[in-house]
Amino acid sequence: MQKMFENKSFGKILLDEPMRNHTTFKIGGPADVMIIPSNEEELIEAIKFSRENNIDFLIMGNGSNLLVRDGGIRGVVIKINEGFNKITVDGTTIYCQAGALLSTASKVALKHSLKNFEFASGIPGTMGGAITMNAGAYGGEMKDVVTIVRALDKNNEIREYTNEEMNFRYRNSRVWDEGLIILEVELSLETGEYSAIEEIMKDLTYKRTSKQPLELPSGGSTFKRPEGYFAGKLIEDAGLRGLRHGGAQVSEKHCGFVVNIDNATCKDVLQLISVIQKVVRDKFNVELEREIKLLGED
């Protein structure tokens, strides 16, 4: 299968590429083929080629919400990030390619004194990934600012979807429902005062750096928020702060995060997650659902 990609002009092509080099968890075995397109045409051609040849492929962004199994990923990983990250501004509208980082887009918004996107300033993902899971923080979500999404559907047709058509919900969207591939996003913001926007962003940055274990590899919040509870509080109250399995640990700083403290394997993380879920279930009769997306094979 790898030979099929020799001399193809899909952008950068890497063979047997360790996924730990492409996820914030720093975990994961090799992908058979990784493609990093530098423009929309290369991205679409890579997808068409994979579909026409019945090659399994998956799309990733910054790898900030992924846990890849130790056996790696068979088939093709298409990474939409560097080279496909253009951001333009027209009045109060910002256009972002799928590979644009949320943190970069928030800085662009600040530069143009545009408000309502401050919540995204510390989210470490790309625009495509953020749309896919309706990313959010500190009271804001992507659904609050998105107006139009351009995406490639399963028939290789480019379509535009309105906010309502995207079926945004908690950490989910139409992308998962239909296997859409995000190309570009249109955000509608409001004119604000530069200093006020900057102050909000500084405050959120302080909250993140003081309360979240950003100094250690992780996949962000490990669990979805259970209705009526906070996952981190449940885990802390269950006495699991600092619990370790292999190289994985419940963060000492924020119990809602499982962190990689010593070359953790995916197996380490999954076994620790299983223990956390069981203890919380037994103590509080609450089911913790994993927010991190699990990919690959053992």
Strands of the chain, DSSP E? 12-18, 30-36, 57-60, 66-68, 73-79, 87-90, 93-97, 114-115, 136-137, 140-141, 146-152, 158-162, 181-188, 190-191, 244-245, 248-250, 258-260, 293-295
Does residue 101 sit in helix, strand or coil?
A: strand
> Which residues carry out catalysis?
171, 221, 291
CA-closest candidate to residue 69, choices 24, 40, 31: 31
CA-closest candidate to residue 295, choices 268, 271, 266: 266
Distance separating alpha carbons of residues 101 and 210, to the nearest angstrom: 22
Angle at alpha carbon of residue 219, lines to 118 and 96, rounded to 5°: 40
* Residue 288 CA: distances (Å) to CA of 67, 96, 183: 17, 33, 32
